[in-house]
Amino acid sequence: MRIIFIGLFLMLVFSPGGFSQDLVLKYGESVVNGDSIYLSGTKSSELIEVRLSVTNNRTTSVTLKLRKTELYVVEGTECSFCWGECYTPAVMVSPMQITILPGATDRISFIGEYRPYEIEGTSIVKFTFFDPADTTFQQSVTVFYQIGGSGIHPDQLSEKIISVGPNPAHESIRLFLPDGLIGTHKASLMNGCGQEVLELNLPTGQQVISLPVAGIHSGFYYLKIMDKTRVLSVQKICISH
């Protein structure tokens, strides 16, 4: 079963200004420029795939490579991709580059592959298509691979377990935790490259916790809330100073 949720706010995340319509990514009939795709499966799923079409709306040919950024991958699982050729999970940037003619659409070169190996959880991987000669010409999509009972849509989890505000945030982000949340939990703020820029252990029994962000550059980030075994919530946060 595959599910896609698309929002106008998410379409702004990490989309390069000025080139958003020159390079168009589609999942089925939906434009997913800078957006997120949610795929679900069970522990018995051997392979989950996402296929995208890539359209060049320029009047000249474009040559593209592909970069994989593992924002969060459940331990013991693997994510790989095909871009003309298929690569092992260790490959983060495609050696191959593919040329797309003016006005043409490539529907066969890209596949994002995920192997859960019977492990539940949600892995988050960003795929960026870019011109190696002009890195400002790029477009990306973030894929949530959700496996089993632990792989629930982040919006569903955040509504029931953790809410966050304000968004956009200026000086701090407040986490509102529900009653009965026990055990060891951690908040982690990641940038678009999957690098952790801030980490905070959440004290047990405290319902409102402040996460200071005054010293973090303005931009879009992922706020991940975890316990010892799984990701409870992943939300996109805008920091604006």
pTM (predicted TM-score): 0.67
Residue 10 structure tokens = 């998410």
Protein fold of 154-239? Immunoglobulin-like (2.60.40)
What average pLDDT does the chain have? 81
Name the residue among 193, 240, 188 with its Cα closest to residue 216: 240
**Is the pLDDT reported for residue 187 higher than 70?**
yes
Matching CATH number, 2-147, of 3.40.50.261, 2.60.40.3880, 3.30.1360.40, 3.40.50.1950: 2.60.40.3880
Spatial distance between the Cα atoms of 25 and 147, rounded to a whole number of angstroms: 24
Kindly tell me if the per-residue pLDDT of 14 is higher than 50.
no
Parallel/antiparallel/unpaired status of strands 163-165 and 134-147: unpaired
> Which pLDDT score is estimated for 211?
86
155 pLDDT higher than 70 = no
Q: Which of 11-20, 67-76, 107-116, 232-241 has the lowest mean pLDDT?
A: 11-20
More confident residue, 123 or 11: 123
Asked if residue 121 lies in contact with residue 151, where contact means CB atoms within 8 angstroms, the answer is yes
pLDDT, tens only, 26-76:
999 999 998 888 888 888 899 999 999 999 999 999 999 999 998 888 889
Domain with CATH 2.60.40.3880 in the chain: 2-147
How much is the average pLDDT of 120-134? 90
Q: In the chain, where does the domain assigned CATH 2.60.40.10 lie?
A: 154-239
